[in-house]
Each structure stands twice: as C-alpha cells, then as structure tokens.
C-alpha cells in the first residue's frame, strides 16, 4: 500500500542528515522521500546505509554535529521542520515512538521495568500511580509476558533478551502512538523469540491501526512481514517496491543484496561483483 497525501501519517520529502566534522561533511541520509500510512513499511540496507539515522531524524534525535533538513517533513499535516524543540518532545512517545535495537542499552538498570513502563505512561497522561501501574500490567500482558505482576518488579538485568525486547515494546506502545519505528527489534533474538515478537508487533499494529517503520538488514524477514520495502545504500533510496515483489526487484543493488542470501541451487551476482563498478550509485 502506498499512502496518499490524504491518508498519510508521515510525509518526508528530500530528507537529509549531514554531520559537519573537522575533516568535512558526512552525508548520512541523502534526499530520502516517502509517505507512511497505516501500514508496515520496511527499510533495509547494509550497516551505515542510513536506516537508523532516518528513524532518529524523524524523532529529532540526531546528536551534534548532525544537521537535519527536508523540503517537507510532516506528521498528520504538522510541519516538523518548523516545530520548536518542546513541541517535538511532546510528539515523541505520545504520537511517534521508537523501539531501539538492544534493550540492554535502552532500559535504565537501576529502575524496575514496571516503573519504567509506568513512567512512560505518566509522562504523556495525567494519571495516578495506581492507574499507571494497572495500565503497565495490562501492557505487559498485551506483549504476551507471563506473570506480569512478577516481571513488573524485576530489574533489566533479571530478564532475558526476548523479554527485555517485549518490555521495550510495551514501554513504547503504552502511550498509544500512531507511528512506531522499530530499529532491528529482533536482531539479538533467537528465531523462535523473533517470531513471537513479530506476531506481537503485527497484532498491535493491526488492532490499533498504527503505521510501522520496520528497520532491518534481513531481507527474508522484511519480505514476509512488511507491506512495502525501501532499499537504502549510502544514505539514498535505491528502490521502493511492494514486499511481495522483492524477489523480482530490478535495481542492481537490490539484486546484489538478494545475491548475498544463501541459495546453493541458484548462484547469483553478489555485492562484491557490483562494487567493482558502482555506476548505479550515482
């Protein structure tokens, strides 16, 4: 599904993220444009292709000396490029949330996971401590954590990687955002837990009518889970296509990524071959 301007939750036109360093300007994102509706949009590419920078730019989380510019960056018709910092902060979490890659580095180690989820709710809603705890327990149930009352009182180091990722999802979704950005949410998990987390995301996105930006390097995963896919390299979008048509992609870079996937019966062109003549990147 390609979101029209009437149904778009998010619209980006010519998004650029540049880092001004002593040795020159590093172009992390170069002219990225897309719209996001109530759908699952995958962004794939190699490490350093600009995937995570795109998510952070949307949330105004690019650190100094990064500079974000765009001809158009709108959330539900609101211009994010002219919005002040305080207003952008109000959007974060309440309307647009981001699940980071590794919960070990995202959760506060000296707070129980329940207190962190409850705090995320109270920041955006005028709620009592009791109501926030009840909502937090319900959210832990929604992400399929058994014994939510027991898990509520645990510290981050006391939960497994899969459970920590579910806690992060619960924390980001408790404020009921309209857009969720998931940055490699399953890369640190084993296959069985990956499938469980993806099912949770799918159910929540479907039931709440959210827009999901799913950042990954796993083409198989994106093909099976997302509605559309943006393929990025060097900060640029190489190709945008329906996820179901990924195997029929025409761009040389996308074909190169596909060629890196294991396939003993059908050898394909690899990225190493393409990089000898990267004229397609220009």
β-bridge mates for residue 78, sequence order: 75
- 173 or 191, which is more confident: 173
Q: Are 210 and 204 in contact (CB under 8 A)?
A: yes
**Rounded average pLDDT over 194-223:** 86
Structure tokens that stand for 236 in this block: 């640029």
Give SS3 for 127: coil
- Within 8 A by CB and 6+ apart from 271, the residues are 253, 256, 257, 259, 260
Confidence of residue 191 (pLDDT cuts 50, 70, 90): confident
**Are β-strands 236-242 and 228-233 bridged in parallel, bridged antiparallel, or unpaired?**
antiparallel
Q: Which of 252, 192, 196, 189 is nearest to 216 (CA)?
A: 189
pLDDT of residue 4: 47
Q: Which of 197, 171, 45, 201 is nearest to 108 (CA)?
A: 171
Residue 18 Cα to chain centre, angstroms: 20
Bridge-based pairing of strands 179-183 and 66-69 is unpaired
76 or 272, which is more confident? 76
Chain segment 82-107, per-residue pLDDT in tens: 999 999 988 998 899 998 877 777 89
**Which of the pair, 241 or 273, is modelled with greater confidence?**
241
Q: Is the pTM of this model over 0.75?
A: yes
- C-alpha to C-alpha distance for 193 and 199, rounded to whole angstroms: 10
- As separate numbers, helices (DSSP H) first and strands (DSSP E) second, the chain gives 10, 11
Mean pLDDT (whole number) for 186-215: 82
Mean pLDDT over 175-184 rounds to: 91
Judged against a pLDDT cut of 70, whether residue 268 lies above it is answered with no
Task: Say yes or no to pLDDT of 270 above 80.
Answer: no
Helix ranges (H only) for the chain are: 51-58, 85-91, 113-124, 129-142, 148-152, 161-173, 191-208, 219-225, 252-259, 271-275
| pLDDT confidence tier of residue 1, bands split at 50, 70 and 90 | very low
């Amino acid at each position: 599904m390609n979101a029209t301007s009437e149904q778009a939750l998010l619209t980006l036109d010519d998004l650029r993220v540049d880092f001004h360093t002593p040795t020159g300007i590093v172009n992390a994102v170069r002219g990225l444009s897309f719209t996001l509706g109530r759908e699952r949009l995958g962004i794939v590419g190699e490490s350093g292709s600009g995937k995570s920078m795109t998510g952070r730019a949307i949330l105004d989380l690019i650190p100094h000396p990064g500079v974000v510019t765009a001809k158009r960056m709108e959330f539900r018709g609101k211009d994010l490029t002219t919005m002040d910092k305080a207003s952008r902060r109000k959007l974060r979490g309440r309307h647009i949330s981001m699940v980071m890659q590794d919960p070990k580095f995202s959760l506060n180690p000296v707070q129980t996971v329940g207190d962190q989820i409850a705090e995320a709710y109270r920041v955006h809603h005028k709620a009592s401590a009791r109501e926030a705890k009840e909502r937090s327990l319900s959210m832990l149930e929604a992400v399929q954590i058994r014994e939510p009352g027991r898990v509520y009182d645990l510290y981050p180091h006391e939960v497994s990687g899969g459970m920590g990722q579910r806690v992060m999802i619960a924390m980001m979704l408790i404020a009921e955002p309209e857009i969720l950005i998931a940055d490699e949410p399953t890369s640190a998990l084993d296959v069985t837990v990956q499938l469980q987390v993806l099912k949770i995301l799918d159910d929540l996105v479907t039931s709440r009518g959210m827009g999901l930006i799913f950042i990954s390097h796993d083409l198989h995963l994106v093909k099976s889970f997302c509605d559309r896919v943006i393929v990025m390299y060097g900060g640029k979008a190489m190709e945008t296509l329906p996820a179901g048509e990924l195997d029929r992609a025409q761009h040389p870079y996308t074909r190169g990524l596909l060629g890196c996937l294991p396939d003993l019966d059908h050898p394909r062109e690899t990225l190493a071959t393409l990089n000898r003549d990267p004229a397609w990147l220009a």
